[in-house]
Structure 1
């Protein structure tokens, strides 16, 4: 921060120089003008003395003319090189007043509209925090400085959860959702914080949050883990086992939480058996989805496209995230073409065709090579992701 204020001070000095230098020059010009006036007064006094001496008969006419010429030469020698005085329209007080007001107003405007707090935060975040409390303070200051930053709010909420402050975390996650939208991960985090803030009591609010999160993303990990905890606490051990098994499928093999999760499944199984129940067999895995689609170009568009234009063919859920579930890329020169879209073409592991019951097929021509925007498009009617019959898709409409 010291470097910032030093730089600001240097810039201020440069600005003041444009005001102070003309004032100093005007003072020098004033001194030269005063010296010229003095020389003129001395010349006039010398001429008056010569005139008195001429009237008294001390000097004759020739001597008086010679003395006057000598005095004139001395006056010219003293005033030679002196520039003509410049008249300032503003006067001297105006530049001096501006020299005082510029730094004062500049500092006041910066403190009001500037971002000194953000500069200080940037400097602090460039250094590793010494404790969790220090990290929390930094995040709280970041949220205060940038109240519309969903990212800062999210990290602050996660930090509150690690500090066992679920009530504060729930409020922060609610603000994050209001800013960033009702994304599945944010809804899951909000539901988890609210559940622990309510003393591990399940509520309609928490149920609604988890339902919405899993509807948008059936594999949202926080919601699955939370539902498993709530089911275990409510002695619904089979539900806990089912939720935790679904969660276990989403975790990578190296994830350290797998051990604790497997331990929870074992405890739930033991309690279920001890209460006289029987563990239900896991449902058979859904068969991998595979859609076959033949893509062609409408006859009236063939003269309006170029062979090298990109063609993006993808399937997306009719009710769910807008991101493509599976995609392929061709060119206009490849059309007509038959492609297969399946789970192996998933853009993200958690977004597979088989996870969504109904999808829509889309083919887009983009001269710029952008999958999200183009010139021409074709769309199918909604169809089941388990459809095995070949589909036909024609690109025939402007992409609006």
Structure 2
């Protein structure tokens, strides 16, 4: 901010120079005029002295004329080069008054209409904050300087939520909605902040906000998560499972929150079963593809394999890329074993079980530990990736 005021001061000096230079020039002209008047007075005094000497008989007429001519030459020599005096209608006080009023008026107008606070905020945001409190203070000043900025309000609301200030966040999100419109994401954030601000008490207002958000966007994640939390707190475990499964579908495979969300679904399922209920099949299907497979070794092969031989169990698309969609690795010593293959076991994010309607289960024994080649193999018939019934897979054939 110091360099800004230095630059403003330099510009002010330049502006004042245009006002003060004419005043300084007028002073110089006045000095020249005063010197000219003095020379004229000296000339007149010299002429009077010559006349006195002529009257006393000291000088004759010729000497009088010569003395007068000499005095005139001296006067002309002293006044040579002096410009004619200029008359100013404004007078001397006007430029001096302007020199005082211009900076005062300019400073007053800048403080009233200027943006020094925004300049300072821009400088602050160019440097990383040292703490969350400092970041919050910067956002609060940004909102004060730009009250019509929906983006600044949104980030301030999110910051309040991370600081466990839901009541403040709810007010900020309400202002954001009024500025930016009733966008589904903003409505979900507002509803979530209001829910925690009200002490986790559900209300008609929160219900209306989540309903409006999901009507505009059925995949709005904040509203889905909030409705799941409210249903779980209200012991409506089936609804919690449904909302959280819908949310799980929106998250990418590498999202870290998937683990916590799956844990919540598992707890809701346990409480539902403990209370005597059963999980609806539709809710199970929405968790994504999940195949439960029991793998065993054919009796006539048990003497032909070693306990440390690797066993690769995977699912691949019947019509699609040959790469495995999901895989697990065991050893012969682990058999028989039951494993689950699902979207969480995807080898690549874009190749998930749920992305392919039909798959085949494969189990391979490889002494060299190579999943693509081995000695013995077992294959299943093609089945739907949405199959929920447990499958049995027996390793019983040479791998060719």
Q: TM-score, normalised by structure 2?
A: 0.72
Please say if residues 327 and 346 of structure 2, whose CA atoms lie closer than 8 Å, have aligned partners that are also in contact.
Answer: yes
Query: Aligned pair in 2 of structure 1 residues 162, 372: CA closer, same or farther (>3 Å)?
Result: farther
Question: What CA distance in whole angstroms lies between the structure 1 residues aligned with 2:147 and 2:129?
Answer: 22
CA displacement, residues 309-346 of structure 1 (integer Å, 9 cap, x when unaligned)? 99999999999999999999999999999999999999
Q: Which residue of structure 2 aligns with residue 273 of structure 1?
A: 273
Question: What secondary structure does 1:282 align onto?
Answer: helix
Q: In the superposition, relative to structure 1, how do residues 24 and 47 fare at CA in structure 2: closer, same or farther (>3 Å)? A: same
Q: Is the 8 A contact 1:219 1:350 kept in 2?
A: no
Distance 2:115 2:324 in 1: 40
Counterparts of 2:367 and 2:84, CA distance in 1: 70
Matched-pair contact (CA < 8 Å) for 1:216–1:321: no
Most deviating of 191-200 and 250-259 = 250-259
**Which digits, 9 at most, give the CA deviation of each residue in 1:350-390, with x for residues without a partner?**
99999999999999999999999999999999999999999
CA 120–358 in structure 1, closer or farther in 2 if over 3 Å, else same? farther
Q: Which one is further off, 206-215 or 388-397?
A: 388-397
Q: By how many angstroms is 1:255 displaced?
A: 1.3
How far does residue 241 in structure 1 lie from its aligned partner after superposition?
Answer: 0.6
2:360 alignment partner, SS class = strand
Report the Cα offset of residue 254 of structure 1: 1.6
**1:338–1:199 CA distance, 2 compared to 1 (3 A):** closer
TM-superposition CA deviations, 1:237-256 (whole Å, max 9, x none): 11001100110111111211
Is the Cα contact below 8 Å between 1:192 and 1:223 reproduced in 2? yes
2:270 aligned with 1:263, yes or no? no
- Secondary structure, counterpart of 1:328 in structure 2: strand
CA distance in 1, matches of 2:384, 2:129: 51
Q: What is the alpha-carbon distance in structure 2 between the residues aligned to residue 38 and residue 303 of structure 1?
A: 136
Check the 8 A contact 1:217/1:320 in 2, yes or no: no
Summarize the Cα distance change of 1:293–1:282 in structure 2 as closer, same or farther, 3 Å threshold: closer
Q: Secondary structure at the match of 1:386?
A: coil
Rounded to whole Å, the distance in 1 between the matches of 2:58 and 2:308 is 113
Distance 2:127 2:35 in 1: 63
Indicate conservation of the 8 Å contact 1:12/1:103, yes or no.
yes
Q: CA deviation at 1:282?
A: 2.3
| Contact preservation (8 Å) 1:286, 1:354 | no
Structure 1 residue 194: Cα displacement: 0.2
Structure 1 residues 6, 231: closer, same or farther in 2, change over 3 A? same
Q: How many Å separate the matches in 2 of 1:300 and 1:84?
A: 130
CA distance in 2, matches of 1:186, 1:121: 25
- 2:225 touches 2:243 (CA, 8 Å); kept in 1? yes
Instruction: Give the greater-gyration-radius structure (CA).
Output: 2
Question: How far is the alpha carbon of 1:259 from its aligned partner?
Answer: 1.1
Q: Distance in 2 between matches of 1:336 and 1:81?
A: 121
Task: Give the whole-Å Cα distance in 2 for the aligned partners of 1:59 and 1:308.
Answer: 148
Normalising by structure 1, report the TM-score. Answer: 0.72
Q: Which residue of 2 aligns with 1:174?
A: 174
In 1, Cα distance between equivalents of 2:61 and 2:45: 18
Stretch deviating more after TM superposition (389-398 or 86-95)? 389-398
How far apart in 1 are the matches of 2:379 and 2:393? 7
Aligned equivalents of 2:300 and 2:79: distance in 1?
92
Moved more, 297-306 or 315-324: 297-306
Cα deviation for residue 89 of structure 1 reads 1.1
> Measured at CA, do residues 313 and 220 of structure 1 come closer, stay the same or move farther in structure 2, by a change above 3 Å?
farther
Measured after TM superposition, the shift of residue 123 of structure 1 is: 0.5
Q: Please list every run of 5 or more consecutive structure 2 residues that lacks an aligned counterpart in the other structure.
A: none
Matched, 1:5 2:5: yes
Gaps of 5+ in 1: none
Question: In 1, are the aligned partners of 2:245 and 2:287 still within 8 Å (CA)?
Answer: no
Please give the alpha-carbon distance, in whole angstroms, between the structure 2 residues aligned to 1:376 and 1:68. 141
In the comparison of the two structures, how many residue pairs are matched?
A: 400
Moved over 3 A (4+): 283-400
Q: CA deviation at 1:6?
A: 0.5
Distance 1:15 1:294, change over 3 A: farther
Query: Judging changes above 3 Å, is the alpha-carbon distance between structure 1 residues 254 and 113 closer, same or farther for their aligned structure 2 residues?
Result: same
Superposed CA offset, 1:136-191 (max 9, x none): 00000011111111000000000000000000000000000000000000000000
Alignment match, 2:348:
348
CA RMSD of aligned residues (A): 16.1
Aligned-partner Cα distance in 1 for 2:198–2:296: 57
The residue matched to 1:11 in structure 2 has which SS?
helix
1:302 offset after TM fit, Å? 78
Q: 1:390 to 1:159 in 2, by over 3 A?
A: closer
Distance 1:61 1:4, change over 3 A: same
Instruction: Name the counterpart of 2:194.
Output: 194
